[in-house]
Structure 1
């Protein structure tokens, strides 16, 4: 058992896949927007970096504790919904998730990082 502080549970970024945009194209890299990662969560400030293959890297102004692979990440500019995708991973988790977002609601399958003795 490793004991740490609540602040250490937060993640400052995530990668979303299967991202679709409501506009004709993705916003430019470095755009300041808001993101919701839970239905009833408050939108939080972030910077987005759209990538090839319908993916986007998101960097939050403040770390979040509820970044969950398989859940949605929805992007806003004020009240305007810009688009959204499926969370593939939160940065710093140490676990890459395979298949997150292959099916709506899919939680993904973590790769094995090593076996327990």
Structure 2
């Protein structure tokens, strides 16, 4: 599966990239909302793992703009913003799943596999 991981924290990006590659996925990284939208315009992804708190365009804005894409990937929101209102808003904007940081790696992999339809 091709996965776009969007987060501005290297301490999250690097381990996520390693974990997902080890699980057999192709991974592309984006550190801002703008980078994410550019990647989505240029390539097709099966899944986007998206943080809500990003510099510039936040994750909500990325979700909103991604809805209009002809090949919108499934979205797993992975964020430190774990409030119920944030979850509800992300799901209303089209996210298929929502996980709060900190997270267990096995839970994340289970969500990725679920979204992949496995």
TM over 0.5: no
**Higher share of residues assigned strand:** 1
**Higher share of residues assigned helix:** 2
Q: Relative contact order, CA 8 A, sep 6+: which one is greater?
A: 1
With normalisation by structure 2, the TM-score equals 0.27
With normalisation by structure 1, the TM-score equals 0.27
